[in-house]
Amino acid sequence: MSFSKRLHEKLQPIWRKNHSHPFVRGIGDGSLDQKKFRFYMVQDYLYLIEYAKLFALGAVKASDVETMARFASLLDGTLNEEMSLHRQYAARFGISETELEQAAPSPTTLAYTHYMLHIAQNGTLPELLSALLPCSWSYWEIGKELSRKPGAIDHPLYGEWIKMYSSREFGQLAQWCIELLDQHTAGKTEEELARLEEIFLNTTRFEYMFWDMAYNESMWPFDENENAAI
């Protein structure tokens, strides 16, 4: 069995939780409170700024020009296509690009991006791929599932989001990362695979936490201006 198939089977219970999360269901049936979506969009933009750096680090760690070029195109696609969707949504919400970039990250955004970047900077190429894959793979699965819901892609607000993440282009990028991980894990020992599985599991957990953070609009659990006299 390929390593990606093993991961997919093992992590299904958590992935299904993503699909049934009220935030994801709300995008699919159009019932999601727009304020929550606005919060998500800002946090996701901050997330993607950091996530894009994994592709740059992937190019640094690649050992051939073809792989470097694919990572470069993933970096370009994230900065100029995926994040352009966010910029368009932000404009609809009256948020400027500067405001987007300067927004404060939530604790979950910080924890997730710092974990991924730590692995990417300090780990091997298969470790980097294990950290980034739940992101694109799980969104592609969610996008495809939501796009099959009658009327979902025509929703005036959430339709564009569903179209982006169910698109063939987005799927091809996820598929390339899956194939690269399978190539790099063929013949690895069980100990090495277990380490990669652990990384994949951690970013899978963070994906769920990100939906939850967005749904609850969670920032730090206190207001720093309160009790200023203490």
Q: Which residues in this chain contact ligand NSP in the complex, by CB under 6 A?
A: 44, 47-48, 82, 135-136, 139, 207, 210
3-state secondary structure of 66: helix
DSSP 77-131: HIIIIIHHHHHHHHHHTT--HHHHHHSPPPHHHHHHHHHHHHHHHHS-HHHHHHH
Please give the single-letter amino acid code of residue 155: H
Q: For this structure, is 207 an active site residue?
A: yes
Minimum distance from residue 47 beta carbon to ligand NSP (Å): 5
The single residue of 141, 192, 207, 224 carrying the catalytic annotation is 207
DSSP 131-194: HHHHHHHHHHHHHHHHHTSTTGGG-TTTHHHHHHHHSHHHHHHHHHHHHHHHHHHTT--HHHHH
Q: Half-sphere exposure of 26 toward its Cβ, with a 13 Å CA cutoff?
A: 15
Q: Which is nearer to ligand NSP, 47 or 158 (CB)?
A: 47
Q: Which is nearer to ligand NSP, 141 or 207 (CB)?
A: 207
Minimum distance from residue 198 beta carbon to ligand NSP (Å): 19
Distance CA 190, CA 186 (A): 11
Minimum distance from residue 210 beta carbon to ligand NSP (Å): 4
Minimum distance from residue 228 beta carbon to ligand NSP (Å): 34
Q: Which is nearer to ligand NSP, 26 or 193 (CB)?
A: 26
Q: Which is nearer to ligand NSP, 23 or 47 (CB)?
A: 47
Please give the single-letter amino acid code of residue 36: K
Active site residues: 207
